Structure 1
Amino acid sequence: MNRRELLQLAAASALLSALPLQRVLAAPSLIAATPLGLPQVILARALQDPEFTQQVPEPELRHWKDPDQLRAWLARGEASVTATPTNVAANLYNRGVPVVLMSVNVWGTLGILGLESRGPLAAIEDLAGRHVGVPWRGDMPDLVFRYLLARAGLEVGRDLKISYQSSPFETVQMYIAQRLDAAVLPEPMRTATRLQSVQFGQTPRELDLQQEWARLAGGKPMLPQAGVLCRRELLDEHPGQVAALQASIGRAVDWVVQEPSAAAQLGAEHAPLAKPVFEGAIKRTILNMVTAAEARPALENFFTALSELSPGFIGGELPGADFYYV
């Protein structure tokens, strides 16, 4: 080594010694995934949290289109964290994908919009004689709706008609065209449809399914519908990252509730939906970050109720204790 190379090495060593040790030993970047909607807003905000980015400087956020794509990403290690419906998380676990549910933060997002011309929609019993559109047959919106119909003593085919669509977008199109009397929709599609209906001169009736659950099944009008999970590998190898992310998710949920305008702007930047849609969705969704361990009783009650209609909803059985992050 000549004198010039020695001086360059010394200068580089001095520069490295001046950097914070945490920056030098920073863990590799984290890849997170999310569906569209408020879970995406929450996770996007959490990944921007300065206290989290001190540990993970450049986290990446991806959008998954359906549970099959998510399952492939998690199985191949292409994503280590994701926002997801809770039944999808349980299903992944029961299919042998090594995942841990970190928290539940969405507790109320389902509702029904009904054509004003078809009369009042103050209770689920008012749907008797109507044609209702439901997206994703066998998925959460469908099972919640059919569970409530049974509790109200209504029978599909005898008391009302249900038709299924492959996506909420198709359900919305049929409802706006008045080919349906009512539509079961999650947020933010429920708000988007309401706003679009008004543009067409319609004022939809609306029924909150969380309130109907409380009325017909008892308990609070809250359903543990969506949260965040991580790969077991991430928790085992980087528990500090998971703890930091859990804390940032809690702060993100509080921020969305307290700053709906700013949260709606963040949502519009990450999804093909306008800011007013997200603002309306935030107002009509129950958001509260609860750790998975604390949410376990509510999750098991919810899973048990809907599994009576479809055991495959969560993959055949309740997840084990190691599914829940403490």
Structure 2
Amino acid sequence: MKRTKISAMLLTIAMIMSLAACGGNSGNSASSGAASSSAEVTPTAYSIAALKGPTAMGLVKLMQDAKTGESLSNQYTFSLAASADEVTPKLIQGELDMACVPANLAAVLYQKTEGQIETLAVNTLGVLYIVENGNAVQSMSDLRGMTIVAAGKGSTPEYALRYLLSENGVDPDKDVTIDWKSEHSECVAALASGEATVALLPQPFVTVAQNKLGDLRVALDLTEEWNKLDNGSSLITGVIVARKEVVDANPAAVKAFLQDYAASVDWVNGNVADAAQLIGSYDIVDAAVAEKALPNCNIVCITGSEMKQKLSGYLSVLFDQNSKSVGGALPEDDFYFGA
């Protein structure tokens, strides 16, 4: 891995630090596959990007600790982006060491870079919902004949929606009209203006929309709809990945990062009000919205063998539906760090 001047200085002067023990598994977080607290690690500087949404929300405690100079296993710098399109070129070109991206995109990048992307953890489970300004939608089959506004074409929202429609006997190309927007905020605007009555939205945008439209209701939880199929997989929204050369340069430091990340997730899930204030201060989403949305954001830090089991099952479902959604082939074992 190409060292910056900062990381070189750290490697020269920093003391060898013991890995901090991972925080307790409160909420939905998990820490399987992380390094033991007795291991030692040479601190490393990492540049990490997250998308404004649940993945960034789970990182806020770590972001704040890095900003205030708290004692951490490594040195971290963070950047936030509105979409994965802003992040992936920088990751591939080496400007970023790690990035939070949609789960299927991680597999696409693995294929595109010929195995040079490695998944470190699942950081967000299902956060997708069908919302309606009305009461017509009680099941996936009720969407037949309707127009659904949505964002996220080519990533988790599209593939999850198409899969669930198909499994419920609704042809996503013939039986419904999906009006794709470039951002989730556009979907909220369409609902608010009356342009649309049904939308596919993730948290925290569900809460944003409900704050604008008091009668807007959650018609369907796509995680529940996925679980009803009992297909041996879980609906996964996001993961955090790293460049393989970053991982290979210092695997112990990467494991230490995962412990820091898991501790941040545990804190966010266990301190919702305080976490919401931090989320607001980083302009990820308004603090009041964050406080309402956090319990439904399914923020986790699942690593190791459990990460591989959940993610490989999800990618297999997508592959069977549309191989292009995961880059044309399923990733090999080296895609899953620590599994």
TM over 0.5: yes
Instruction: Work out the percentage of aligned pairs sharing the same amino acid.
Output: 25
Distance 2:194 2:310 in 1: 37
| TM-aligned CA distance change 1:105 to 1:137, over 3 Å | closer
Query: Structure 1 residue 35: deviation in Å?
Result: 0.6
Q: Which has the higher helix share?
A: 1
Report the Cα offset of residue 218 of structure 1.
Answer: 4.3
CA distance in structure 1 between the partners assigned to 2:176 and 2:93 by the alignment: 44
Establish whether residue 80 from structure 1 lines up as the match of residue 97 from structure 2.
yes
- Partner residue of 2:108? 91
The aligned amino acid for 1:137 is K
Which amino acid is 1:79 matched to?
L
> Is residue 78 of structure 2 the alignment partner of residue 66 of structure 1?
no
Structure 1 position 219, deviation (Å): 5.1
Structure-1 residue corresponding to 2:125 = 107
Aligned residues: 300
Give me the TM-score of the superposition, normalised by structure 1. Answer: 0.83
- Which residue identity does 1:46 align to in structure 2? L
Deviation at 1:159, TM superposition (A): 3.6
The AA in structure 1 aligned to 2:318 is L
Match of 1:324 in 2: 336
1:95-153 CA distance string (max 9 Å, x none): 1162211111211211011112xx24332122233221121323211111111111111
1:259-309 deviation line (CA, Å, top 9, x unaligned): 111111111112252112112221112233211432222222211222334
Please give the residue correspondences for 1:233-252 in structure 2 after superposition, counting only pairs within 5 Å.
Answer: 233-252=245-264
User: Which structure 2 residues correspond to residues 126-165 of structure 1 after superposition, within 5 A?
Assistant: 126-156=142-172, 158-165=174-181
Q: TM-score, normalised by structure 2?
A: 0.80
Among residues 293, 302, 308, which one is paired with 2:314 in the alignment? 302
Distance across 1 between alignment mates of 2:104 and 2:171: 25
The answer as to whether partners of 1:35 and 1:83 remain within 8 angstroms in 2 is: yes
Amino acid at match of 1:277: V
In structure 1, the residue matched to 2:24 is none
Q: Provide the C-alpha distance between the structure 1 equivalents of 2:269 and 2:222, rounded to a whole number of angstroms.
A: 20
What corresponds to 2:205 in structure 1?
189
Report the CA distance between 1:223 and its aligned residue: 1.6
Unpaired runs of at least 5, structure 2 = 1-12, 18-40
Tell me what 2:35 maps to. Answer: none
* Residues 156-197 of structure 1, C-alpha deviations (whole Å, 9 max, x = no match): 465433222122122221122222221001111121111111
Instruction: Find the structure with the greater CA-based Rg.
Output: 1
Distance 1:318 1:53, change over 3 A: farther
Structure-2 change in CA distance of 1:240 and 1:172 (3 Å)? same
